[in-house]
Chain A
Amino acid sequence: MTKVSITVDGVLHESEVEPRTLLVHYLREQVGKVGTVVGCDTSSCGACTILLDGRSAKSCSVLAVQADGSSVTTIEGLAGDEWHPVQAAFKECHGLQCGYCTPGMVLSAVDLLSENPNPSEAEIREGLEGNLCRCTGYHNIVKSVALAAQTMKGGK
């Protein structure tokens, strides 16, 4: 077992993990952040996307030991007292159907907007390249991200 200190959604967790523990399993099973889901388990679908030190990463493709000393934001830690503007926009634009890809989509969108606050439709689609929606509801997801970009600009 290896000791790791990982801040998850603002709370520091000191844990013992096996080196082979995937970050997604650590988050779900040791920290209880079941909002982060496992989709394909082959780095393809992006459903398990989290923010690792502020940048999007697929938590099925990171070992918990690699995240030692880092800070993780999951979908559960994104909202404050109110929904994050990206979450609100997904609700407003019906940017989800079954909802399974949503945690990853939302966090990828947050990452995209932090780097490019005013993305074109093409840039939104490219920014979400690492996230798959099996319901194929991409149009409303893209609309949601565009709306979030607008509201986030208005808010600042």
Chain B
Amino acid sequence: MIPSKFDYVRPNSVDEAVAALKAGGEDSKVITGGQSMLPLLRLRLAAPSVLVDCARIDEMKGVKDNGDSVTIGAATTHWDVLHNDIVKTHVKLLADATATVADPQVRHRGTFGGALAHGDPAGDLPAVVLALDATMEIAGAKGRRQVAAKDFFVDYFTTAVGPDEILVSITIPKLGKGWGTCYEKFNRTASGWAVVGVAAAVKVEGGKITDARIGLTNCAAVPVRASSVESALKGASASAAEIEVASQSAAEGTRATSDLAADKEYREHLMRVITARAVSCAAGA
């Protein structure tokens, strides 16, 4: 379908973009790569008054090494994230998860920040930033604010980014020595959405797991941490058998829904199985 009519502006700075959003009223929307927005426009599920194109704002692009953390501009494409040496070295979990997002054409255009701000419960990257305790920088008319990943995802397709605000960048702490990571995704078809996805980061010292962070994709309206598995893993040996036992509580605290891909019971089963796989892979078990 042809999208409904809208105005289009392409500001050169975050300040200009914030002003354009405000001027456009509550139906103005940010676009970067447009790989979530264009399908919504064509189905007329979205009918913005103004699209504010932030894809060419320099401040919102690229990757910066801060020493103990990495900052990624929200308008950095998945392809640029995947091919960035800083990301590959220090945030491998993000690179691995990004490689599973959609298909090459979509990864060339779609952006990291766009995928987060879209807030799709089946999106792969929200669980990754949640597991890695990332911080989002959001710009609005009143200035900038920092929001922790755990407070960023509010509900289905709803994030902490207000209607007149823009997600500018994402800062991810480096994990340091002893940590291994893995993103494990269960889907039915090539380039399909995750039925369940698990982002795991595990610290192993002397054969024992000493710390674990696990984010779950598509197990609730928002990404969730498998906190009880994280606790159960601490002190466990980095063996497939002990990891499988600890992973039995993966569905605790989730709010799985039933859909065409999986009913609630099957999805909860998948959480346990895929969590065990992701943690084993991350722990080298």
Q: Give chain A's interface residues, CB within 8 Å of chain B.
A: 2, 18-20, 22, 25, 41-43, 46, 49, 52, 55-58, 60-63, 65-66, 68, 108, 111-112, 125-127, 129-131
Chain B residues near A127: list those with CB within 8 A: 104
Given contacts A61-B38, A62-B38, A62-B109, 7 further A-B contacts (CB under 8 A): A19-B51, A41-B1, A57-B105, A57-B108, A108-B104, A130-B104, A130-B191
The reply to whether the CB of B5 lies closer than 8 angstroms to some CB of chain A is yes
Q: Contacting A20 at CB < 8 Å: which of B2, B55, B103, B106?
A: B2
- B residues within 8 A CB of A46? 103, 105
CA distance A125 to B104 in the complex (A): 11
Query: What chain A residues lie within 8 Å of B8 (beta carbons)?
Result: 2, 19, 63, 65
Interface string of B1-44 (1 = CB under 8 A from A): 11111111010000000000000000000010011001101110
**A125 to B191, alpha carbons, bound, how many Å?**
11
Distance from B131 Cβ to chain A, minimum over Cβ atoms (Å):
25
Question: Using Cβ atoms and an 8 Å threshold, which residues of chain B touch A66?
Answer: 31, 34, 53, 55
Residues of chain B touching chain A, judged by Cβ–Cβ distance below 8 Å, are 1-8, 10, 31, 34-35, 38-39, 41-43, 51, 53, 55, 79, 102-106, 108-109, 190-191
Please indicate which of the listed interface residues B39, B103, B106, B191 has the most CB atoms of chain A within 10 Å of its own CB.
B103
The CA-CA distance from A61 to B6 in the complex, in Å, is 16
Q: Verify A56–B53 contact, CB threshold 8 A.
A: no
Measured CA separation A43–B35 after assembly (Å): 8
Instruction: Kindly state the separation between the CA atoms of A112 and B7 in the bound complex, as whole angstroms.
Output: 35
Report the nearest A residue to B8, measured CB to CB. A19
Contacting residues, chain A, for B106 (C-beta < 8 A) = 43, 58, 61, 130
Task: Say yes or no: A61 contacts B5, CB within 8 Å.
Answer: no
Can you give 28 A-B contacts (C-beta < 8 A)? A2-B8, A18-B5, A19-B6, A19-B7, A20-B2, A22-B3, A42-B43, A43-B35, A43-B106, A52-B108, A56-B104, A57-B108, A60-B42, A63-B38, A63-B51, A65-B8, A65-B53, A66-B31, A66-B34, A66-B55, A68-B10, A108-B104, A108-B105, A125-B190, A126-B190, A130-B104, A130-B105, A131-B103
**With A61-B109, A129-B190 as contacts: A42 and B39 at CB distance below 8 Å:** yes
Residues of A within 8 A of B4 (CB): 20
A41 and B55 CA atoms in complex are apart in Å by 23
Q: Is the CB of B190 within 8 A of A55?
A: no
Contacts of B5 on A, CB cut-off 8 Å? 18-20
Bound Cα distance A32, B121 (Å): 40
A20 to B4, CA, bound (A): 7
With a cutoff of 8 Å between Cβ atoms, the chain A residues found around residue B51 in the complex are 19, 63
Query: With A18-B5, A63-B8 known to touch, is A43 a contact of B38 (CB < 8 Å)?
Result: yes
Closest 4 CB pairs between A and B?
A130-B103, A19-B8, A61-B38, A55-B108
Say whether, besides A55-B79, A57-B109, A63 and B34 are in contact (CB < 8 Å): yes
Task: Identify the closest chain B residue to A104 (Cβ).
Answer: B105
**In the assembly, what is the distance between CA of A130 and CA of B43, in Å?**
20
What residue of chain B has the Cβ atom nearest to residue A130's Cβ? B103
A125 to B103, CA, bound (A): 11
B35 touches A61 (CB 8 A): yes
CA distance A136 to B8 in the complex (A): 39
Contacts A20-B2, A20-B41, A43-B39 known; A56 to B55 CB distance under 8 Å? no
Complex Cα spacing A125 to B8, Å = 37
